């Protein structure tokens, strides 16, 4: 823009753009129209809605820009990257909006506020920070959000509908719908109107208090929960899922996850270094697969490549356990790295999506996670392989349900919803991308949650409740049916808190007199690890996660993998 263009725009509108709609003359509007035309001609992909105002004194340097009707950008604002804004949005003087940022309708951004949707890597201490790679997850803001002055929003943040962010806040995690947050780091101070789920029939009056009391109990008993599942033996011993069972690969990983979540360290009695050495040694150097353990505690031969039903989950649990212990796989996952785009599509087409959508989703989860671990090692998949995976999922999701596969007469939506969780966890969630049809997904999951066969308290299992909680959390930023989601989250959270068994943890299946003696109702490591994560997701949906004092960092981490 030229100095003459800047000088031509009245300073009143540059710094107080809201006056433009009531005080601008015909000449002022013509001048602004010409300036917007100049921007659109110069910009790569610009779209400016009706009755918008863009100050010539703003630095609008976007690659992509979309402003909805009656939105404005004031003087001194600095914009780069891709900004998509709905109607009636405001970027006030000296605000900074950089990276990939999505604003809903009626989002008001105060002066000197920064939305920074990117981040510099800094992990390599021998390379100057500014020379290290830049990552970007994007920032997403819902509808009717007020962001005060001098606020900083970091990359990867989602702010849900109706939220208010107080002046001077530093927002480091997602903001729930209608929350009023403030501080550094920002936390929920109060709610606009009735707190979410406060009137839910049957929910405890002080759900946050119940959550905090549970977390205190779990931390105090974590040592006992882990120790009861340890089996002494050669090499220092191994963990079993429940007392009396044989050790498994997954049990070692579940113990690591629980100890990290509740104790902030590796599980005793082995040291972190000993556990890292063991987990890394279990990986076959030729294929990258971690084989299952036999009755003698030794590994059985690995299954067919690239992975099998017996060993596939090890790509997830061992990888994340090593990550929590500050390490990583010793070898690349060679069988996955060798898959071409055609191989990926061939496998996807051969999966039993209609007969067994859970198994199909499990396969996709394993593949997506294996690709992620290889990338962390600097080993790239074959050209187009990851694109083929995402492309197939995007084009095969049912636009009516948001899911992959179809309900069955016998199981209803259970296998389809559970398969969606697994498939989306290892792909869209893990790589930080939006799912294809989020509102239809919410409808389907809420419809499934009304099926008492899976959600009645005495019939709940960790898989079935996690597979409800995670998709609803993953799609929460839409704000769609938010009251229904919060009410369900509070109900399921109230149920989950009552599944804890003192000194023993959680069973995979909720304990009940009618199921006493069932193997799945015995408290153990798998049930404890999964229910701890479930409780966090439900608590976050209900707006009380801060009371827990923990946030999953491993296999059930809410953030995309770095």
pLDDT band at 65 (very low <50, low <70, confident <90, very high): very high
Q: What's the rounded mean pLDDT across residues 464-471?
A: 97
CB 84 within 8 A of CB 117: no
Nearest to 177 by CA among 536, 535, 469, 485: 485
pLDDT in tens, 5-41: 444 445 789 999 999 988 889 989 999 999 998 888 8
What pLDDT is recorded for position 280?
A: 95
What pLDDT is recorded for position 361?
A: 96
- Cβ-based neighbours of 63, under 8 Å, separated by 6 or more: 44, 45, 80, 81, 82
Treating both helix axes as pointing N-terminal to C-terminal, what angle do 249-263 and 312-324 enclose, rounded to 10 degrees? 30
CB 501 within 8 A of CB 486: no
Rounded distance between C-alpha atoms, residue 125 and residue 327, angstroms: 17
pLDDT in tens, 489-526: 999 999 999 999 999 999 999 987 777 677 888 999 99
Q: What's the rounded mean pLDDT across residues 42-55?
A: 86
Rounded distance between C-alpha atoms, residue 188 and residue 176, angstroms: 9
**pLDDT at position 178 over 90:** no
pLDDT band at 133 (very low <50, low <70, confident <90, very high): confident
What pLDDT is recorded for position 2?
A: 42
What pLDDT is recorded for position 9?
A: 44
Q: Where are the alpha helices (DSSP H) in 83-227?
A: 207-227
pLDDT in tens, 90-131: 999 999 999 999 999 999 999 999 999 988 877 788 888 888
| CB-count burial class (<10 Å; 0-12, 13-18, 19+) for 205 | exposed
**Residue 256, CA distances (Å) to 75, 265, 268, 520 in order:** 52, 8, 9, 21
- Cβ-based neighbours of 414, under 8 Å, separated by 6 or more: 448, 451, 453, 454, 464
pLDDT in tens, 421-457: 999 999 999 999 999 999 999 999 999 999 999 999 8
CA atoms within 13 A on the CB side of 247: 19
Q: What are phi and psi of 267, to 5 degrees?
A: -75, 140
Choose between 251 and 334: higher pLDDT. Answer: 251
What pLDDT is recorded for position 305?
A: 60
Indicate the DSSP class of residue 64: E
pLDDT band at 3 (very low <50, low <70, confident <90, very high): very low
Q: What's the rounded mean pLDDT across residues 350-356?
A: 94
- Please state which of the ranges 183-187, 229-233, 539-543 shows the lowest mean pLDDT: 183-187
Rounded distance between C-alpha atoms, residue 241 and residue 527, angstroms: 9
**pLDDT at position 148 over 80:** yes
CB 165 within 8 A of CB 158: no
pLDDT band at 314 (very low <50, low <70, confident <90, very high): very high
pLDDT in tens, 187-230: 888 888 765 544 444 444 588 999 999 999 999 999 999 999 99
Distance of alpha carbon 296 from its chain centroid, rounded? 38
Domain architecture of the chain: domains with CATH: 3-191 (2.160.10.10), 228-331 (no CATH)
Phi-psi category of residue 320: left, alpha or beta, with phi > 0 → left and psi -120 to 50 → alpha: alpha
**pLDDT at position 150 over 50:** yes
Q: Is 39 helix (H, G, I), strand (E, B) or coil?
A: helix
Task: Find out whether the peptide bond into 86 is cis, omega within 30 degrees of 0.
Answer: no
Share of the chain above pLDDT 70, in %: 94
What pLDDT is recorded for position 213?
A: 92
Task: Give the tokens for residue 342.
Answer: 């055609």
pLDDT band at 462 (very low <50, low <70, confident <90, very high): very high
What pLDDT is recorded for position 8?
A: 43
What pLDDT is recorded for position 121?
A: 79
- Please state which of the ranges 98-112, 301-315, 345-359 shows the lowest mean pLDDT: 301-315
Indicate the DSSP class of residue 298: S
Please name the helix (run of DSSP H) or strand (run of DSSP E) that holds residue 180, with its range, or none: strand 179-182
Distance of alpha carbon 94 from its chain centroid, rounded? 31
**pLDDT at position 288 over 60:** yes
What pLDDT is recorded for position 409?
A: 85
What pLDDT is recorded for position 310?
A: 80
What pLDDT is recorded for position 44?
A: 66
Rounded distance between C-alpha atoms, residue 49 and residue 21, angstroms: 14
């Amino acid at each position: 823009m030229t100095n003459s263009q800047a000088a031509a725009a009245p300073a009143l509108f540059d710094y107080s753009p809201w006056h433009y709609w009531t005080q601008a003359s015909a000449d002022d509007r013509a001048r602004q129209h010409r300036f917007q035309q100049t921007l659109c001609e110069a910009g790569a992909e610009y779209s400016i809605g009706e009755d918008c105002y863009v100050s010539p004194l703003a630095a609008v340097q976007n690659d992509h820009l979309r402003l909805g009707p009656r939105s404005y950008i004031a003087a001194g604002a600095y914009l780069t990257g891709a900004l998509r804004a709905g109607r009636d949005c405001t970027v006030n003087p000296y605000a900074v909006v950089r990276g990939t940022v999505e604003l809903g309708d009626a989002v008001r951004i105060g002066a000197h506020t920064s939305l920074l949707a990117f981040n510099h890597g800094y992990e390599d201490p021998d390379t100057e920070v500014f020379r290290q790679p830049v990552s970007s997850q994007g920032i997403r803001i819902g509808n009717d959000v007020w962001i005060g002055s001098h606020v900083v929003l970091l990359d990867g943040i989602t702010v849900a509908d109706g939220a208010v962010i107080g002046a001077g806040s530093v927002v480091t995690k997602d903001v729930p719908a209608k929350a009023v947050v403030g501080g550094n780091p920002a936390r929920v101070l109060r709610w606009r109107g009735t707190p979410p789920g406060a009137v839910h029939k049957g929910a405890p009056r002080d759900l946050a208090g119940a959550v905090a009391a549970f977390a205190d109990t779990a931390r105090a008993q974590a040592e006992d929960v882990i120790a009861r599942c340890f089996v002494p033996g050669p090499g220092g011993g191994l963990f079993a899922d429940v007392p009396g069972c044989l050790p498994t690969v997954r049990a070692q990983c579940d113990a690591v996850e629980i100890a990290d979540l509740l104790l902030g360290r590796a599980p005793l009695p082995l040291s972190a270094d000993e556990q890292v050495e063991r987990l890394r040694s279990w990986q076959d150097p030729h294929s990258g697969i971690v084989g299952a353990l036999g009755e003698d505690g030794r590994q059985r031969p690995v299954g067919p490549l690239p992975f099998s039903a017996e060993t596939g989950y090890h790509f997830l649990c061992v990888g994340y356990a090593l990550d929590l212990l500050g390490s990583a796989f010793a070898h690349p996952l060679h069988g996955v790295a060798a898959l071409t785009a055609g191989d990926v599509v061939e496998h996807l087409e051969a999966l039993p999506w209609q007969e067994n959508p859970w198994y199909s989703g499990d396969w996709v989860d394993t593949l997506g996670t294996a690709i992620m671990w290889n990338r962390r090692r600097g080993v790239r998949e074959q050209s187009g392989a990851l694109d083929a995976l995402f492309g197939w999922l995007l084009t095969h999701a049912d636009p009516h349900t948001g899911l992959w596969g179809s309900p069955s007469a016998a199981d209803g939506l259970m296998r389809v919803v559970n398969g969606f969780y697994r498939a989306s966890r290892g792909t869209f969630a893990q790589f930080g991308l939006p799912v294809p049809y989020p509102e239809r997904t919410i409808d389907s999951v809420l419809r499934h949650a009304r099926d008492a066969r899976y959600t009645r308290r005495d019939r709940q299992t960790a898989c079935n409740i996690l597979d409800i909680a995670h998709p609803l959390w993953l799609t929460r930023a839409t704000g769609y049916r938010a009251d229904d989601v919060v009410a369900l989250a509070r109900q399921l959270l109230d149920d989950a808190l009552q599944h804890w068994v003192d000194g023993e943890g959680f069973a995979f299946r909720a304990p009940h007199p009618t199921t006493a003696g069932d193997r799945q109702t015995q408290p153990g490591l798998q049930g404890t690890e999964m229910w701890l994560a479930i409780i966090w997701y439900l608590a976050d949906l209900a707006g009380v996660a801060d009371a827990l004092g923990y946030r999953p960092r491993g296999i059930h981490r809410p953030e995309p993998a770095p």
